[in-house]
Amino acid sequence: MTATALSIGDFARATHVSVKMLRHYHQIGLLEPSDVDSYTGYRRYTADQIPTAQIIRRFREMDMPLERIRAVLAAPDLHTRNRLIGEHLDALQASLAQTQAAVASLQSLLEGPAFSQESAITFRRVDATPAAAISETVSIDEIAAWYQGALGELHATLAAQDLLEAGAPGGIYDDDLFADERGRATIFIPCAGEIRATGRVDFTVVPAVELATIIHAGSHRDIDRAYGALAAYVARHALTVDGPIREYYLVASRDAGDATAWRTEIGWPIFRTRAG
């Protein structure tokens, strides 16, 4: 045993890594002691291992997974090590931005709307509309990525077949998607002429419907607030009917890179008993 050998307790004090975690790191091979007494099982560490333990502790404070830490420590060169650390820092930044947005949304919700959303609700009848469409059963947690992919495929297919887009893209979402977190979703783009079925894209006629509508401004992170305001209005002022929710993407990511410029019209199927 060398003069620089530290008991696991002393090593824990020196590094602020608990004995429990040091034992765990040993078990998974992340930080192995320099010596383990074959008779007592006591672990010993060297002073040279203190910086490694401190690095592990710093990474864990940044929520870096143990497997990523292992990869960083085992990196064959500085470039690989910096890339792994940079990827984790990027993920932290994205998570921080998401948390900040969630906090801002919650504060806004607690403060209440700055204006009466009821005044922003209108009624309109949508005629039957020929369209290129993609329909699939999806889960609620994949709907955003699915929507982006489907919309891009529709735009590309219409362009490839030299068909003009005849209105804003839209989406039709079955009740099951909201109630059971999985259901039928359709993304469509009105078009002038009948599209040839290609891949997931097919021709459809979007049914006529009467809607109560509200315009949601910005990204879809807070779109539930517009949904809530619309549902409350319909419950108070109109007779709701069975039928899927519609969305029309008046200004979307393809039109504006700045999410604050996006505009989404949400339509709730209704049967009005009076005008106005």
pLDDT at 25: 94
What are the Cα distances from residue 155, in Å, to 84, 133, 145, 187? 36, 10, 16, 11
Burial of 28 (0-12, 13-18, 19+ CB in 10 A): exposed
The DSSP secondary structure of the chain, one letter per residue, reads --TT-EEHHHHHHHHT--HHHHHHHHHTTSS--SEE-TTT--EEE-GGGHHHHHHHHHHHHTT--HHHHHHHHT-SSHHHHHHHHHHHHHHHHHHHHHHHHHHHHHHHHHH--SS-GGGG-EEEEE--EEEEEEEEEEEGGGHHHHHHHHHHHHHHHHHHTT--B-S--EEEE-HHHHHSSEEEEEEEEEBSSPPPPBTTBEEEEEPPEEEEEEEEES-GGGHHHHHHHHHHHHHHHSEE-S--EEEEEEE-TTT-SSGGG-EEEEEEEEE-SS--
Tens digit of each residue's pLDDT, the chain (276 residues): 444 688 898 888 888 888 999 999 999 999 999 999 888 889 999 888 888 998 898 889 888 999 999 999 999 998 998 899 889 888 888 887 777 776 766 666 566 654 455 568 899 999 999 999 999 999 988 998 999 999 999 999 999 999 999 999 999 998 888 878 889 999 999 999 889 999 999 999 999 999 999 999 988 877 887 888 888 888 777 577 788 999 999 999 889 889 889 999 999 998 865 555
The predicted pLDDT at position 1 comes to 46
**pLDDT at 114 (0 to 100):** 45
Q: Which CATH architecture has domain 6-74?
A: Orthogonal Bundle (1.10)
pLDDT at 243: 85
pLDDT reported for residue 109: 57
pLDDT computed for residue 257 by the predictor? 85
85-118 burial: b if 16+ Cβ within 10 Å, else e: beebeeeeeeeeeeeeeeeeeeeeeeeeeeeebe
pLDDT of residue 5: 80
How confident is the model at residue 62, as a pLDDT?
85
Enter the CATH code of domain 117-271. 3.20.80.10
Instruction: Report pLDDT for 105.
Output: 63
Q: What is the pLDDT of residue 134?
A: 97
Q: Where in the chain is the domain with CATH 1.10.1660.10?
A: 6-74
